[in-house]
Amino acid sequence: MGIADLVPGVSGGTIALITNIYEDLITSINHVNAKEILALIGANRKKSWQKINGQFLLPLFLGIATSILFLSSIIGFFLENHALALWSFFFGLIFASSILICKDVKQWSPSTIIGLIIGGLISFLISFLSPAEATEALPYLFLCGMLMIMAMILPGISGAFILVLLGAYETALETVELVRSFRTQGFLNLLAFGLGAIIGLKLFAHWVGKLYLNYRNPLLATMSGFMFGSLYKVWPWKQFINDENRDQIAVLPQFELNNSGLWIALGFMFIGSFVIYAFHKMSQSQKR
């Protein structure tokens, strides 16, 4: 989930859904409150720990934090030096995830089909939006943290992509590097992002849980549409149309046998898809 949250176009919520921990995640978050957290240092700490499902949340969030802290620089390196392979891998991840979420819809109806189409169109059109100007004001980073976590918890909507649109994606990556270097500004930025994320998570998880329980099929279909629509954003082959603004459009690759880039891209698409299906199968075997 941490790796997915680093990538524009991929959602940590999607990984939670296809690995069958999404319901546990939403339920556990809704049980966390100030009263239970304070009780953890009291005599009833064992009961509170069980109530908030701490044995589930603690390793999960430690895993997310570890990935973001230590892998953000690796993602940045590959984006700079091996973009074709990396975006192909991401394309495979998202495509396979979209198929699995579609298969998780128990009953298709006009409402689910409409949700799929609307989700796809919205996500596709969002891909053409120009990112906002970057800003490092702490109140703005607080707002970005709220919007980011809302997107992260929904399967199909990328929190990292929301940060790109808000102009705060580079600031977020820079914040991770500053924290790793123990710079004061990094911890201030992290505090602003973190507080926004915590408040947004508590405010939004409750409503997502209700939607998931009462409108599961339309919600999953819409989120799957979001993912299908985001495939344009992560399409590996792009062409610049404006050198000044760095605007890009998707183009088709050259289908030639001696085109090594084509085979590398297809190989990494397959690897990305395989990783998702492998996670899905492992989670299914553990549920049995």
Is the model's pLDDT at 196 over the cut of 60?
yes
Report d(CA 165, CA 97) in Å as an integer: 23
Quick one: 138 exposed, middle or buried, by C-beta within 10 A (0-12, 13-18, 19+)?
Answer: middle
Name the average pLDDT for the chain.
82
Q: pTM of the predicted model, to two decimals?
A: 0.75
Average pLDDT over residues 188-194: 90
> Where are the chain's structural domains?
2-287
The answer to whether 197 touches 144, Cβ cutoff 8 Å, is no
Report d(CA 173, CA 76) in Å as an integer: 8
pLDDT computed for residue 130 by the predictor = 66
114, amino acid identity: I
Is the model's pLDDT at 91 over the cut of 70?
yes
pLDDT computed for residue 72 by the predictor = 76
Report d(CA 94, CA 97) in Å as an integer: 5
Confidence of residue 112 (pLDDT cuts 50, 70, 90): very high
pLDDT computed for residue 121 by the predictor = 92
pLDDT computed for residue 287 by the predictor = 60
Report d(CA 5, CA 220) in Å as an integer: 19
Confidence of residue 52 (pLDDT cuts 50, 70, 90): confident
The answer to whether 12 touches 152, Cβ cutoff 8 Å, is yes
Report d(CA 120, CA 129) in Å as an integer: 15
Distances from the Cα of 221 to the Cαs of 133, 135, 217, 225, 228, in angstroms? 33, 35, 6, 6, 10
pLDDT per residue over 145-158, tens digit each?
A: 888 887 777 776 77
Report d(CA 60, CA 46) in Å as an integer: 19
Confidence of residue 191 (pLDDT cuts 50, 70, 90): very high
pLDDT per residue over 124-145, tens digit each?
A: 887 777 666 666 788 888 988 8
Average pLDDT over residues 242-252: 68
Q: Give 136's contacts (C-beta < 8 A, 6+ positions apart).
A: 171, 189
Report d(CA 282, CA 103) in Å as an integer: 17
pLDDT computed for residue 265 by the predictor = 92
Helix (H), strand (E), coil (C) string for the chain? CHHHHCCCCCCHHHHHHHCCCHHHHHHHHHHCCHHHHHHCCCCCHHHHHHHCCHHHHHHHHHHHHHHHHHHHHHHHHHHHHCHHHHHHHHHHHHHHHHHHHHHHCCCCCHHHHHHHHHHHHHHHHHCCCCCCCCCCCHHHHHHHHHHHHHHHHCCCCCHHHHHHHHCCHHHHHHHHHHHHCCCHHHHHHHHHHHHHHHHHHHHHHHHHHHHHHHCHHHHHHHHHHHHHHHCCCCCCCEEEEECCCCEEEECCCCCCCCCHHHHHHHHHHHHHHHHHHHHHHHHHHHHC
Average pLDDT over residues 52-70: 87
Structure tokens at 35: 């009263």
Is the model's pLDDT at 247 over the cut of 70?
no
Distances from the Cα of 219 to the Cαs of 100, 124, 147, 223, 276, in angstroms? 14, 18, 19, 6, 21
